[in-house]
Amino acid sequence: MKMRISKIGERKVIEEFSEIFSSREWVEIGIGDDAAVLRAQDGKVVVTSDICTESSHFPRGMSPEQKGFFSITVNASDLAAMGARPIAFLLSISAPRETELEELLGIARGAERACVEYGAPLVGGDTKEGKELVLAGFGIGIVKRPLTLSGAKPGDGVYLSGSLGRVGLGIISLLRGLGIKKYEEAALNPRARVDLGTRLQGVATSATDVTDGLALELWKISSKSGVRIEIEEVPMEEEYIEECIKHGIDPLELALHYGGDLELVFTSRDEEEISSISEELGVEITKIGSVFNGRGVFLNGKEIEPRGYEHFSEKNK
């Protein structure tokens, strides 16, 4: 039976949530108190947050479960980019009062599925009434030596996990009704490279996740590290290229500047260890370029614009 949350109130919603979320042995106090309590663990604490709004972040056709999964995944991806192992997530929800209870429970179930996949429980959050659905996720992780944007050095190789453009093409397909199911699935169910991120500790010299487009992420590393980055290729699936051409889309433009793939781009001098990690995790990792003295980001000798997805920018209208 359908039931609007305005009929039962916030406390009942929280009670329903508490039945969905599981815990872990390092959680002393979880959902239900004024704040969560985690037992201290060795390493440095990494904290991140990401807000997802109905109007800006959720593609057409995304289910409540997928929205919940996504809201945790984007935070897990930030932790992965820092090389951190997730130990807890939080999720705050703002929703209109006419929202059906089952929609919020679907979001909670999706968030729990993500928490299980990334090995860390949801320990709290908040619920509020608002004009549109807003999911504010928080991630907490542990790392001995965090990966940052500022560690790239001349002589490093530049590496990328997976391939790019898949999520961008999926979102375009959903918006235009193109029916490219494989890439729509990639857009609706992205995954964070948590296992890879934790394995890159002590191997990568810098790292970030590709959320705002490869070009912009490489420019961040170049700027923070004070280096010049030259890449020779951008990994793209053949099927992706064919679909882009078929529908009049520039595959390289999409791969370089759209983002959302949540792949990791990083620098390292240990090519042999990178190959070993790739085989161990079953993750394709491609060396796409190298780091040099200087400034800027270049593809086959031509400077790439520092352009990608950016909130509050008129370019995204």
Q: What does DSSP say about strands 296-299 and 228-231: parallel, antiparallel, or unpaired? A: parallel
Question: Residue 187 has what pLDDT?
Answer: 95
CA quadruple 109, 61, 10, 2: dihedral sign: negative
Question: Residue 310 has what pLDDT?
Answer: 47
pLDDT tens by residue, 251-269:
999 999 998 999 999 999 9
The backbone torsions φ and ψ at residue 281, rounded to the nearest 5 degrees and listed phi first, read -95, -10
Assigned token pair, 11: 């406390």
Q: How confident is the model over 266-279, as a mean pLDDT?
A: 97
* 157-308: in CATH 3.30.310.50: no
Question: Residue 39 has what pLDDT?
Answer: 78
* For the chain, domain boundaries: 12-143, 157-308
> Predicted confidence band at 90 (pLDDT cuts at 50, 70, 90)?
very high
> Predicted confidence band at 152 (pLDDT cuts at 50, 70, 90)?
very high
Percent of the chain having pLDDT more than 90? 76
Query: Virtual CA dihedral for 8, 14, 19, 23, nearest 10 degrees?
Result: 180
Q: Chain-wide mean pLDDT for the chain?
A: 90
CATH top-level class of 12-143? alpha beta
Please spell the DSSP secondary structure of 95-145, one letter per residue: E-TT-BHHHHHHHHHHHHHHHHHHT--EEEEEEEE-SS-EEEEEEEEEESS
> Predicted confidence band at 9 (pLDDT cuts at 50, 70, 90)?
low
Q: Exposure string (b/e) for 215-242, b if CB count within 10 Å is 16 or more? A: bbbbbbbbeebebbbbbeebbbbeebbe
Q: How confident is the model over 231-246, as a mean pLDDT?
A: 97
3-state secondary structure of 290: strand
Question: Residue 8 has what pLDDT?
Answer: 62
Question: Does pLDDT of 45 surpass 80?
Answer: yes
Closest CA to 220 of 125, 112, 297: 297
